[in-house]
Structure 1
Amino acid sequence: MNSSSRQRRLTAAALTALAVATSATACSSGSGSTDTKGADSGAYTIWDPYPQFDKSSAWAKLLDDCGTEAGVKIKRTAFDTSDLTNKALLAAQQDNSADVLIVDNPVVSTLAEAGVLTTTDENKVDTSKVDPNLLAAGQSGGKTYGTPIGANTLALYYNKEVLREAGVDTASVKDWKSLTAALAKVEKAGKKGITFSAIGTEEGSFQFLPWFWGSGAKLTELDSPEAASALSLWTDWLKKGYAPNSVINNTQTTSWQEFATGDYAFAENGTWQLANAEKAGFDYGVLPIPGADGGNAPAPTGGEFVTLPVQGDTGRYATSQKLATCLTSSQNLYDTDTTLSYVAPTTEVQDKQVAANAGLKPWVDAVKAAKGRTSDDLGTKYPKISEQMWKAVQSALSGSQSPKDALNAAQSAVK
């Protein structure tokens, strides 16, 4: 690709970067320079979205160790998740990209379509052990642009005492009908049913997707009968008092705070709440989100991909590949994913995680059924679809439109 055509693609991509859906978990703000190579030409640069980990952290030590193993020094810069996309696009325009770029999985397709990233065929990063459903989030146009460092997703936390008092056996919760029956029992027992996030942002779409996909609906057909059944499920829960009206404004954090009161039977939330669950002060369990007719619904994957950006100096790729391979080795995946509360992207490491902590089994099951938001080759189409989806959810839950009408309007807007 010549420099002028690449410049045009990067400029177009920059216009859509802010709209790209980012992970539903949030990191604190970080800072960094876009001067990737620095004064020391022997240094290799790594950008990541983990500003919460400082120089003394196990993560920073792993980066340095991988550098030592590859025979180079590491210059690491951490950015806020959303800021990292823009910085990566700007650096690519200036032919000053990081050697290794770790980004939220929905961003991969944006960077790939902008010509920022090399493919795994080009950079020789081995993805053969990665679960295909997780790898799909990093694929676009039949090519793979990185490898996942770990995954998180959504499931149902439940309060054992609330369910016990309501006479609900969690083994009976296998589909939407049995879940709704459980919520009815809980409400009759004087407790609260389920809380989730339906806010008008990507978080709302992220939380709706397991029910949307669990109905059999496709993101290319927001107005399908299956999609309407999923939105009707949520709407009916609010009408019957099984879910609070606050879900319309709930983030995943405020939804969790509601569950943490101990009054709710269920909460839809992610692996990132595991530490908070241990501090909640009551016995809890975890169930994969059920599909409409049973089985585990596909929940959207969060988590990051290790990618190798295009370099003007192609001689850097060999060492960059060594760094990526080191970061995603089985032992390092196990250590990193434990730190990040992620499920590993390979069966080998997942089995090791469950052996060390049996409580992770439901999360491994949920991740195995999970699906990337940009999968099915949606790529940069996803943000527009997602925006119309959360608008439809808001309209239906607020009562301003029926689920069917809200989704019809959403599909028309996408077209």
Structure 2
Amino acid sequence: MSGYVGDHAVVLGGSIAGSLAARMLADAYRKVTVVDRDELTDGSDPRRAVPQGHHIHALLARGQQILDEMFPGFTDELVSLGVPIGDFGTSLTWYFEGKAIKKAETGLTCVAAGRPLLESRIRRRIKGLSNVTLRELTDVVGLVTSPDRRSVTGVRVQSRAQGSAEEVLAADLVVDTTGRGTRTPRWLVELGYPEVAEERVKMDLTYTTCHFRGPLPFDPIGDDIALLPVATPEIRRGAIFARMPDRYSLSLTGLLGDRPPTDHEGFLAYAESLPVPEVYKALRDAEPLGPPVSFHFPASVRRRYERQSRHPEGLLVMGDAACVFNPVYGQGMSVAAIEALVLRRHLSQGPPKPRAFFRDLARAIDAPWDMSAGADLGFPEVEGRRTFKTRLGNAYITRLQAAAAEDGELSAAFLRTAGLVDPPQALMRPWVISRVLRGSAR
């Protein structure tokens, strides 16, 4: 990119989506300011604004590829810190309907770093950019607009330091990455813009995580990374049991009001109910590093900014502020990375035009949303809009997963799609369909 497209860009929210947006903006604006209400430490503890940080986070294959592109040597850096890595098809054991799919090399890298570590290492790279400033412990009060309200020209902020006064940060571009608590839809209505259309898939998810000291008395993971019994309409309890850099972690998932307990005995009893007995056997005599912690996630929410009839110039929305995914599918961080590439493409053409940007953002979100929302809608009690495409897709994927128990080629094809490397349409290639049908016949 030759030259800058603007003088100052402000990013609201300093988590992963905000940091990745700042990385792209740093090439296009003379100055970038990231505003966050938390203290953005580089420690290993979850931030207050990210309560889900206590739980296991997955960096899907496409996310890992993009982070290595943005920050050369990023995966090697994590490995030097002791983060386990491996192939998505051989280092993870995936269970559907209680049966493991066949392991197969995919060529895709799985990175088993927790959310706090990933976030802190990304932030270290951002801090190394000379034109990026982090404004910590600062609240975002509201937007500043031109007199006709057609353009956003900055934000009103206030430091949390005692006695601080409200101030205005003038900006050529404001990017909202404040997550599921975003106030942009409300601010737009207050400015006279239409309500932002939303899609919701209500699955009433609770996941509860407990960390354990290694080595384990019985270790079914070994040199691999994780066992993943996936919840399905037939077997509704799921889990992620993973080897982390400094511990073992188990996240138990419950849908539709089924809530994994936070007392140790109840937690283990829930683990014992899983269709994979190795999980309970590994942890029944293991030493917990603290009490189990729960996180409740009522619904996935997609905000359809691309459908707005009017939107102010100078305001973009990304990350969970645009689309909140069911976290059990591990898409959030990787989709944020994909969205950052969309931002980079628009910056290469000059100051981003919101309506064009949101159209391209929607295209980037379509595939992961269809996969995660579609899978949740396979549970009859989950609330959301079901199309013929959704019903057909769920029936087909169930057959594919069953056939993959004996067919490593199908395992690899499925995992490349789940890792957001290949589009969902790749699973409809003739050779894939024929192997699914042969598997069904068996």
Normalising by structure 2, we get a TM-score of 0.28
Larger strand proportion of the pair: 2
TM-score by length of 1: 0.30
Greater relative contact order (Cα 8 A, min sep 6): structure 1 or 2? 1
Give the number of the structure whose residues are more often helix, by fraction: 1
